[in-house]
Structure 1
Amino acid sequence: MKTVIRRSCKLLPAILSMLLLQPAVAQQPAIPHTDTLRPDVWPAPGNRLHQPWTRWWWVGSAVDEKSLDASLKTLHDAGFGGVEIAPIYGAKGYESRYVSFLSPQWIDLLRYTVQTAAGYNMGVDLTTGTGWPFGGPQLTKAQAASRLIIQTYPVKGGTPFTAQIRINDNKQQGAALQALTAYNGKQRISLISKVDKEGKLQWIPPAGDWTLYALFSGWTLQQVKRAAPGGEGYTLDHLSATALPVYLQRFDTAFKGKSPGVRSFYNDSYEVYNADWTPAFFSAFKTHRGYDLREYLPELISEEKSETAGRVKSDYRETMSELLLDNFTRPWTQWAHRYNSVSKNQAHGSPGNLLDLYAAVDIPECETFGSTYFPIPGLRRDSADIRIVAPDPVMLKFASSAAHVTGHPLVSCETFTWLTEHFKTSLSQCKPEVEQAFLAGVNHVFYHGNTFSPPDVPWPGWLFYASVNFVPTNSCWPHLTGLNNYISRVQSVLQTGIPDNELLIYWPVYDCWENPKGKDLPLKVHDIDEWLHPTPFYKQVKSLQQAGYSLDFISDKQLGKTLVQGRKLITSTNAAPYKVLIIPAMKLMPLQTFQQIIKLVEAGATVIFESMPEDVPGLHDLDKRRQQLKALQQKVKGALSGKIAGTRLGKGTIYNYDGIQEALHIQHIDGEKLTAKGLQFIRRKDKDRTWYYIVNHTADAVDDAVPFNQMGAEDTVLLLDPMTGVYGPATVGHHHVNDVVRIQLQPGQSLIVRTGPVTAAEQAVGNWRYLNKPGTPLPLSGKWDLTFTQGGPFKPADRQLDQLVSWTSLSDTAAASYSGSAVYTQTFTLPDKLEKEYLLDLGKVHESARVTINGQDAGIYWAIPFQGRVGQYLRPGKNEIRIEVANLMANRIRYMDQHGIPWRNYHEINFVNINYKSFDAAGWPLQASGLIGPVTLIPHQ
């Protein structure tokens, strides 16, 4: 239908205020929304590493060559750069199609997948196992995850003890007795040599009350979770030097010495429950810590806050960390290299130093689990559809810091796990979540995920129980290229050059390890409110970031390898240099670490202590190490002048001052001013250019003049829109003592800013087009023709709408349960003289849209604020707009559950809701669907 719009034109004044700067007026070239990255601006176009990859669940490994080819092509056409194969349990009724994991047929299918993917310029990763964690039928109890079991026996002095020392738990029969120690106050007597083969102890205790502690090396008995056919079995003992070779031998046999061609081998988050031991632990502990743990079994299992117990547990946890690093992470990476592949590992959840574990692999990978609150107006976040623990960017930075400090170029992230309840996730909700990962240093995104589903499986196909499920049956699929292209553009920048972070901040892991609670201490994503949030380290990181500083974390081991060159800290030959080392307030620091820090200062580094460490960790030679630490601290304190300005020590400068930001300012290191406006950023350096990725996750629009630290007097500033690919030189002015750039960002929007020289081709496109002084909005308030195109369970009748409403409000029962796409069309008339630019505002959209104007693709509107520049598509007089809208899957699933239509029937966990309860959508309220509007054209001069 027609809407007639008339409006007179007014010219923008030639001179704007200094605050808003001089606007650009040149017309931007038309760049299709399906464009590849421009080689003259966007770095390395066509690189598959820039595109998002996805975890690819092989349900029951029920795959075949024809379907694999079709599925890979579908993924390629949607903008995916690679897949990560993860075989899992199967769907019931399809058992005849299952292919046993690592069987000759399975290996043939893997090789076919790798070859076919290469034809689509896609990569393939493979988890070294099925489900998670690593394990399988090749493992006996000798290689299975172990746990320590301690039994106690009260004994009276002078009373003969002749009982049999044997494990009480019937499930642990065969567990080896490794220690038997008698305790009476400070008296400790080892009795293991007095126990015969039958477990009988013949001993008469001295006078007094005694307690015998018997330690058995048992097993967790954990089986592989979500195992695929052929992958069932015990979980691996990750701490054992002898278990990993046995586990990997099965892969060597299956591969027959020939590389399968996968890009990387992958390990999921460490979920080896109660695995707090390995049979060789006592000997490893004595080698690494210098004393016998058998003498401290009461302290090992104590929950009391005693100093000795805390030190013993710290030593125990440090030993576990080293075993995990030396006996699993490093040799597994070396094994991957033998097959010309790299390693990719999620260290979180491990009972170890996360920074060291992440750094030991080629691609550290973090994970977003649940959803974050963003104050972006209109962004839906239903409390009934979210997990309790929100993703924390500081947690994500453990992976990126390890990569940056060691010089690894890629940081990956398992993204969107349990983002919302099933079938209720919109692309708009995905955007700020993935942006938060980018801001934390991630530059290689993996979706969680995509489930392989044969074409003959009825809608919704095979699905995974914890994923958003980015699959072709998801009604968002026609618009997924919008999200994928956005991620590709951002990652093309974030994989360019090197990180540009000026600060290193030391992570005091020993303060965590001294916690008297429990035995092992897995550092889980879900427990960050216990081991991370309360710490001075966390508070200091947040404070520095909010002040505009860029930083990475560093461990004791990594500090030990750090050098100083020209007053800058060099952590690796491939890593970017750092300007300052920050030591947050802490209690415990190893003597070697403190000594190394002083050496770095003497060599020319700048180090700021929020406060000096109070003590050394651990128990062995405690008095000696304490004295050495105290003597070194006195030496340093004697050199300190007590002034805020810091003190020269050797060639460097050292501060002992809790005003860290003030000390940084004295060193002429200031944060980026844009954070004062609520904006967030991450920065990369590429030779003579600096790239800023900036997002606005606030509730307010930003239109302001912003200074940038990495902008020289001779630099040109290029603005790039990662949503569309459009770019152009920015308007630069001068305010006070700073050069400033005008930045316009609505809530939810992002922008890339590049400083440095520009090429002739870049300059030729014309300056960045700012939106100045909007004119009177032009509502498209006429009637809309509505046609339902692709979806189900039933197709609603086409109709004409007098006003835009949710499909669920239409007088058509088919529309209420419909999930899929529908097209809105309207014609309207514009004045003979058009303004310089028009902004199309779709208003409320449930949930995404593709806009066509006068037959030209005007882009995918998949995220808040659902606005786009459309001036280049409009013409004087009659215009036609076509808006294809896709809703959620929720209403259709609701209908199926209400009518008892089966769609979930899997082995093992089957299908659960976000709280891991039985899934049932029958009681869900209907989800708003379609274009709600109002749809408005806003002219700009």
Structure 2
Amino acid sequence: MTTAAELLAGFAAPAPEARPMMRWWWFGPDVERTDIVRQLKAVADAGLGGVEVAYVYPLSTVEHPFGSAEFLNDLRFAADTAASLGLRFDLTLGSGWSFGGPHITAETASRRLIWDVREIGGNALRIGIEPRWPGEELVAVYLGEGSLQEPPISFERLEAGDGAVLVDAGRSPRLVAIAWSAPTGQQVKRAAVGAEGPVLDHYSKTAVLDHLRAVAEPLVEAVGAERIGSVFCDSLEAYDADWTSNLPGEFRARHSRDPLDELWKLRFDAVGADLFRAEFYETLSDLFEENFLGVIREWSAQRGVPFRVQNYGVPLTRLSAYASVDIIEGEGWGWGGVTQTRWAASAAHRLGRDIVSAETWTWVHSPSLRATPLDLKGEAHEHFLLGVNHLIGHGWPASPARSGVNLGRLFYASGALDDRNAWWPAMPALAAYLTRLCWLLRQGRPVADVMLYLPSADAYDVLGLAQGGSLDLWRTARAIIGDAIPAAIRDAGFDFDLIDDRMLETLDPATVASTGPVVLPHVERLPESVHGWLRAVCASGGTVIEVRSEAATSPTDDSSWRVITDEELAGALRATGNPDLRVEPASSDIGFVHRRVGDVDVYFVANAGAETRRFSVAPRASGSHWQLWDPQTGRVTEEGDAGAVPLELAPYEAAVLVLGDGAASVGSAPEAGTVTAGEHPLGDGARPWTVAFPGEDASPVALPHEWSVDRPYFAGTATYEHVFDATELWGDEPPARVELDFGEAEPVRAGDAAERGMRGASFRAMVQPPIREIAVVTLNGVECGTLYAPPYRLDVTDSLRPGDNVLRITAGNATAAALAAPNAARSLEADVAASHEQYGVRFRMQDVEHAADGLRSGLLAVPTLRWEASR
């Protein structure tokens, strides 16, 4: 795609590969084939692109355990059904997370270091060395002069033999530090029946190959590699895993010395401790990349299937390790910060990968069944602003059809994003919207001027359990960087990518110098090789900006290497060149991403806040002509000559700005220069509104109408109807354009009932809409559209007729209303209790008690007709 016209054609009818997918949770993992067919048809009918199968804990008695022939046959049946419906079918290579199971032994289970530190006096001692738990192994014993309050600055290694260590008499006080290796003990989280067992050692090639043989191979053989879109590894959550049995030998091979002589430096500070820690953790990262990512990628490549991974967390992994996977995936919203999604998108951009996938809606509007299409749209925008262009929804609980008070099966957390939701009629429109944007954001190459350096050396110095920290390099580096630096980059009108030491070595300093500055965030330890590379950037005409918490004590005159404070960063960035997109007036709610496609520049601009914003944008990209494209319809809405572009975006609304030297589609934009000629609220007059609930006759109703007052536990749709006389409103001459306006979404204020129930990174749109939650609008029997997000306005011009017009509005609420009903809650509690009684506590439902917090249903405003006439 190289011209605006070609792009617009693809935008209007995007390729199906860009459709969002859903994670499909199989509980138990028993599923009925009738339910498989019904649910996959619902996935296809909603405009979704496929499913990623995940096998999790049981919610009923399991007849066909994980790995059984019956289970594998059901998996093949599901894949065949998906293929017949044109759906992509992805497989997770293990139950629950992280990978593991009954095939993992004490020798192949994840391991950790445990430190036993005691203060002793000057007397000689014999210390018995006996394992306390099965699988524990002695690694090394150290002795140093000092105390717990004043630790030693050096240690000597003591030899152990015959189950004991001998400590000679010496000066008092002294510390004995004993390092043990032990299984972490972690079991597979949320495991299906038959998949229980220890988490594997991700640093061990033997453990990984055992898992592939026992679990992955049967899954892929059962389904058939040709039916699989990708094989998947979910979150790396092998907590505390900082050891593997062959680590000493691997360290010696890389660094030509015995790490056991210095292992105490993980626990105690000393000269050279920072260097040793970096080498130690780099060795762990190497082993993970080689023995887990590399082994699985080679295995999947032999079968012709791409390997998709969320490469962050524990085991300790680097950003650059994404080079060892096929499809890069992130997780987490928050477009202004250093999220896991930003980590993934940065790797994809710098590695030249076209697709950046994201686990989306992970904690959306907790609890289950509270999420709305507006929530989904708002969080999806956050991912787009982070560089994502493929969405994997989290997720779709495989469940029998709803019956009576039983709502069916729900995942313990997150949304239940399936056709049980009363708002589901809006899903095809939302899916089409997201597909257009995913497709468009795959075209060309990303533009991200600023490179934000990951302070890995500083992170290694505080990383690890021995220092009271975590083993998550992303999390530790993010804490060092803070929130102010990425916010300043975005506020200055630039986008950025993260870069680590190994990825940096692959980049040409001259090329980097020509694209934008390199920002060093609170860096204390800079490897000499990195320092040399940065100097080469400066020598090539580039800029390095070093950010410190306080002003530099010795300012430098070198304009190519500036040392500034956090508060000075935005100004310093603007001084390096024109912002990619200048927003006036500035707002922290307005974000953008930029793609360069041939000679065309595409900007996705989104309002990530809860208030309408009116502003203009001045793009750096040149072009004699600009257009605004509507992701909802795929059409051009406005166009003009080069210059500042005025925008008005409602809460959680987005637009696409396209710049080039010619119009994408002549005549595709509406005529400019219309003026409001009149308006009429549809709540007064002699003709009343009526409302009809399923199975009931229509009855008069006054708007605004909130049915949750009288029907607090009703989840479904209700149809409102009103008749108005068009001739009475504007006479015999029809207006040029007529719009139905439901009113504004009001921001949720701190302390409002709708704010309660937030959990962790749960996303929700912080507004009170006039429609709860969707409205399907029909005028004179013609469907005009479905509203689910601001602005709540709809063009009804083409459906009008002289005289009486019949307006029908079918509203759908959140199915959490039914979840809040006492009988439904008891049914859910009984299912959970039965699972716990039979199979143990593998999960706990979260936030169900908040199902009704701030919940409203119906039409909460009086719709207004507004009409325009041409000047």
Matches within 5 A, 1:129-168: 129-152=94-117, 157=122, 159=124, 161=126, 163-168=127-132
Matches within 5 A, 1:97-496: 99-152=64-117, 157=122, 159=124, 161=126, 163-168=127-132, 172-184=133-145, 185=152, 188-192=155-159, 194-196=160-162, 199-201=163-165, 204-205=168-169, 209-251=173-215, 253-254=217-218, 255=220, 259=225, 261-289=227-255, 291-302=257-268, 312-350=276-314, 352-368=316-332, 392=337, 394-422=339-367, 423-455=369-401, 459-496=406-443
Percentage of matched positions with identical amino acids = 26
Question: Helix, strand or coil for the counterpart of 2:10?
Answer: coil
CA distance, structure 2, for counterparts of residue 360 and residue 940 of structure 1: 58
CA distance, structure 2, for counterparts of residue 100 and residue 875 of structure 1: 61
The equivalent residue for 2:41 is 73
Question: Helix, strand or coil for the counterpart of 2:831?
Answer: coil
Cα pair 2:242 2:471 within 8 Å, conserved: no
1:842 to 736, 742, 758: 742
CA separation of 1:523 and 1:492: change in aligned 2, threshold 3 A: farther
After superposition, give the CA deviation of every residue in 1:163-191 in whole Å (9 maximum; x if it has no partner): 431123xxx22422121233335664333
2:603 to 646, 667, 692: 692
Cα pair 1:343 1:361 within 8 Å, conserved: yes
Question: Helix, strand or coil for the counterpart of 2:321?
Answer: helix
Question: Helix, strand or coil for the counterpart of 1:583?
Answer: strand
Matches within 5 A, 1:784-863: 784-789=689-694, 798-810=698-710, 815-830=711-726, 831=730, 832-843=732-743, 844-863=770-789
CA distance, structure 1, for counterparts of residue 216 and residue 611 of structure 2: 57
Cα pair 2:627 2:657 within 8 Å, conserved: yes
CA separation of 1:747 and 1:677: change in aligned 2, threshold 3 A: farther
Which amino acid letter does the alignment assign opposite residue 141 of structure 2?
L
Unaligned stretches of 5+ residues in structure 1? 1-36, 373-389, 571-576, 615-636, 647-653, 734-738, 790-794
2:25 to 57, 78, 89: 57
CA distance, structure 2, for counterparts of residue 797 and residue 393 of structure 1: 54
CA separation of 1:509 and 1:681: change in aligned 2, threshold 3 A: same
Cα pair 2:202 2:315 within 8 Å, conserved: no
Cα pair 2:776 2:787 within 8 Å, conserved: yes
1:90 to 58, 81, 95: 58
Question: Helix, strand or coil for the counterpart of 1:514?
Answer: helix
1:934 to 855, 862, 868: 862
CA distance, structure 2, for counterparts of residue 319 and residue 267 of structure 1: 22
CA distance, structure 1, for counterparts of residue 167 and residue 863 of structure 2: 88
CA distance, structure 2, for counterparts of residue 696 and residue 769 of structure 1: 26
CA distance, structure 2, for counterparts of residue 670 and residue 921 of structure 1: 44
Cα pair 1:568 1:579 within 8 Å, conserved: no
CA distance, structure 2, for counterparts of residue 507 and residue 251 of structure 1: 36
CA separation of 1:209 and 1:519: change in aligned 2, threshold 3 A: closer
Question: Does structure 1 residue 545 correspond to structure 2 residue 490?
Answer: yes
Tell me how far 1:661 sits from its aligned partner. 5.4
Tell me how far 1:354 sits from its aligned partner. 4.3
CA distance, structure 1, for counterparts of residue 697 and residue 363 of structure 2: 35
Question: Helix, strand or coil for the counterpart of 1:569?
Answer: helix
Question: Does structure 1 residue 891 correspond to structure 2 residue 834?
Answer: no
CA distance, structure 1, for counterparts of residue 508 and residue 336 of structure 2: 34
Question: Does structure 1 residue 740 correspond to structure 2 residue 707?
Answer: no
Matches within 5 A, 1:672-683: 672-674=581-583, 676-678=585-587, 679-683=590-594
Question: Helix, strand or coil for the counterpart of 2:208?
Answer: helix
The equivalent residue for 1:587 is 524
Which amino acid letter does the alignment assign opposite residue 797 of structure 2?
G
Cα pair 1:610 1:660 within 8 Å, conserved: no
Tell me how far 1:133 sits from its aligned partner. 0.8
1:750 to 628, 632, 654: 654
The equivalent residue for 1:597 is 534
The equivalent residue for 2:621 is 710
Tell me how far 1:552 sits from its aligned partner. 1.1
Cα pair 1:353 1:509 within 8 Å, conserved: no
Tell me how far 1:560 sits from its aligned partner. 0.5
Cα pair 2:205 2:292 within 8 Å, conserved: yes
CA separation of 1:413 and 1:391: change in aligned 2, threshold 3 A: farther
Cα pair 1:226 1:909 within 8 Å, conserved: no
CA separation of 1:683 and 1:160: change in aligned 2, threshold 3 A: closer
CA distance, structure 1, for counterparts of residue 194 and residue 291 of structure 2: 25
After superposition, give the CA deviation of every residue in 1:100-146 in whole Å (9 maximum; x if it has no partner): 32333333333332332222221111111001111011110111010
After superposition, give the CA deviation of every residue in 1:557-596 in whole Å (9 maximum; x if it has no partner): 01101125xx4239xxxxxx84443334411111111122
CA separation of 1:862 and 1:682: change in aligned 2, threshold 3 A: same
Cα pair 1:38 1:45 within 8 Å, conserved: no
The equivalent residue for 1:724 is 633
Question: Helix, strand or coil for the counterpart of 2:52?
Answer: strand
Cα pair 2:742 2:863 within 8 Å, conserved: yes
Cα pair 1:110 1:260 within 8 Å, conserved: no
CA distance, structure 1, for counterparts of residue 193 and residue 673 of structure 2: 58
Question: Helix, strand or coil for the counterpart of 1:136?
Answer: coil
Cα pair 1:309 1:516 within 8 Å, conserved: no
Cα pair 2:153 2:270 within 8 Å, conserved: no
CA distance, structure 2, for counterparts of residue 307 and residue 771 of structure 1: 73
* Aligned-CA RMSD value: 3.3
Question: Does structure 1 residue 568 correspond to structure 2 residue 508?
Answer: no
Q: Which moved more, 1:350-359 or 1:495-504?
A: 350-359
Which amino acid letter does the alignment assign opposite residue 793 of structure 2?
Q
1:780 to 679, 682, 686: 682
CA separation of 1:446 and 1:393: change in aligned 2, threshold 3 A: farther
Tell me how far 1:798 sits from its aligned partner. 3.4
Q: How many residues align?
A: 808
After superposition, give the CA deviation of every residue in 1:471-524 in whole Å (9 maximum; x if it has no partner): 221222222222212111111111111112222222212222222773385466
Question: Does structure 1 residue 642 correspond to structure 2 residue 520?
Answer: no
CA separation of 1:281 and 1:89: change in aligned 2, threshold 3 A: same
CA distance, structure 1, for counterparts of residue 615 and residue 165 of structure 2: 80
Tell me how far 1:219 sits from its aligned partner. 0.5
Tell me how far 1:337 sits from its aligned partner. 1.7
CA separation of 1:164 and 1:864: change in aligned 2, threshold 3 A: same
Tell me how far 1:913 sits from its aligned partner. 5.0
Q: Which moved more, 1:237-246 or 1:449-458?
A: 449-458
CA distance, structure 1, for counterparts of residue 853 and residue 309 of structure 2: 40
CA distance, structure 1, for counterparts of residue 249 and residue 574 of structure 2: 50
